Structure 1
Amino acid sequence: MSLRNTNDRWAWPSMTLHWLIALLILALLGVGFVMVELPRSPRYFWVYDLHKSIGLTVLVLMLIRLGWRIYAGAPKPVPGTPPWQHVMAQAVHLAIYFVALAMPISGWLYDSASGLRALKFFGWFTVPKLVAPDPGIKSVAHEFHEWGAWVLIALILMHAGAALVHHWVQRDRTLWRMLPASFEKTR
């Protein structure tokens, strides 16, 4: 299997980054909605630090994915895809990239501006603050982070919904191209 994407399918580095980032984002969204209800305890701080560490991991993986996408290109739309669907897919992908990069940055900015204790990335090293404590920046970053979660959920639903429509309704290869070739053998 090629490292670079072909005209017909995504290569394994693209697939791995896609599914790893997707799983991490889904976990972050789930934990993000639950953690705000936790009572202040050692577990509370542990969950918040884990959320922040995974969020920064997503930021790094998204930057790698963006670089890889620029380097490796993308498959062409499957034959028969209407141009409007291709344009919509590109718009949703671009929006997902933007929000998936902006969410960890807004979280990091919120954490920095809040003046809370320094984050130890998975307990390994201290993450530098982006700004000094600032209530105005804290408020804007927090608001963006909360609304960004809902926007990201909407984009994920559109993206996954379109993939399922391609698979079950249009019965084309769009979804299969983002799955390892071994999945097709089980079909």
Structure 2
Amino acid sequence: MNLTARYTRTAILLHWLIALLIIAGFILGLVMTDIPGLTMTKLKYYSWHKWIGVTVFMLAIVRVAWRSTHTPPPTQALMPVWQEKAALVTHWLLYFLIFAVPLSGYFYSLAAGVPVVYFGVIPLPSLIDKNEAIKGTLQLLHVTLNYTMAGLVGVHSLAALKHQFFDRDGTLARMLPFLK
């Protein structure tokens, strides 16, 4: 099937930019938490990780605003109803997580008593004070949401590859401009 209906260039750019930042932030999170002790490198990685999170959050706002004013192209692939529903649920969960993961990290950082300063220049408001009682819960929430997102991104990616190489229905070409 030849799908001519593609996402807009802006939607494609936001999708891939957010995806790359999420992957980078996840990998950086794994690396930084494996560094023993408190080193300059670890502190630098934590800053970068936070900057990525803030950027993802801001781009997510732009993406949702764009999506609310630009209807995505209709699904033209012939797939079972359960797959359509699974895709819809996965997409909505991913939208939820691109907000929830950065927010949970932000509140975890504040509860730990560490302010978030975007690019080392713009201090974000401290909406909560240092709070040891909720710090552990927020850390667990942040980690859990991250691994949930990683799993959903994996499922989403595998589904896209299935559509490209097994179904050959053109679904992936809607989000990759160089595919036909």
- TM-score, with length taken from structure 2: 0.93
Structure 2 residue aligned with 1:165, among 143, 162, 166? Answer: 162
Partner of 2:78: 80
RMSD across aligned positions (CA) = 1.4
Question: Does 2:116 match 1:108?
Answer: no
- Are the aligned partners of 2:7 and 2:72 in contact in 1 as well (CA < 8 Å)? yes
Structure 1 stretches of 4+ moved >3 Å: none
Partner of 2:147: 150
Partner of 1:62: 60
Cα deviation, 1:38-73, whole Å, max 9, x if unaligned, reads 241222111101100110110011111111111111
- Aligned length, in residue pairs: 176
**Same amino acid, percent of matched pairs:** 35
Cα deviation, 1:88-132, whole Å, max 9, x if unaligned, reads 11100001111121000000000011112x332112211222201
- TM-score, with length taken from structure 1: 0.89
Task: Give the letter for the 1:43 counterpart.
Answer: T
Task: Show structure 2 runs of 5+ residues with no match.
Answer: none
- Are the aligned partners of 1:53 and 1:122 in contact in 2 as well (CA < 8 Å)? yes
How far the C-alpha of 1:135 sits from its partner, in A, is 1.6
Q: Distance in 2 between matches of 1:132 and 1:153?
A: 30
Q: Distance in 2 between matches of 1:135 and 1:52?
A: 20
Larger RCO, structures 1/2 (Cα 8 Å, 6+ apart): 2
How far the C-alpha of 1:137 sits from its partner, in A, is 2.3
The residue correspondences of 1:120-131 to structure 2 (distance < 5 A) are 120-131=117-128
Question: Does 2:19 match 1:22?
Answer: yes
Q: Distance in 2 between matches of 1:175 and 1:61?
A: 22
Mean CA deviation greater in 63-72 or 35-44: 35-44
Task: Give the letter for the 2:143 counterpart.
Answer: E
- Are the aligned partners of 1:8 and 1:177 in contact in 2 as well (CA < 8 Å)? yes
Q: Distance in 2 between matches of 1:57 and 1:130?
A: 18
Structure 1 residue aligned with 2:42, among 31, 41, 44? Answer: 44
Task: Show structure 1 runs of 5+ residues with no match.
Answer: 1-6
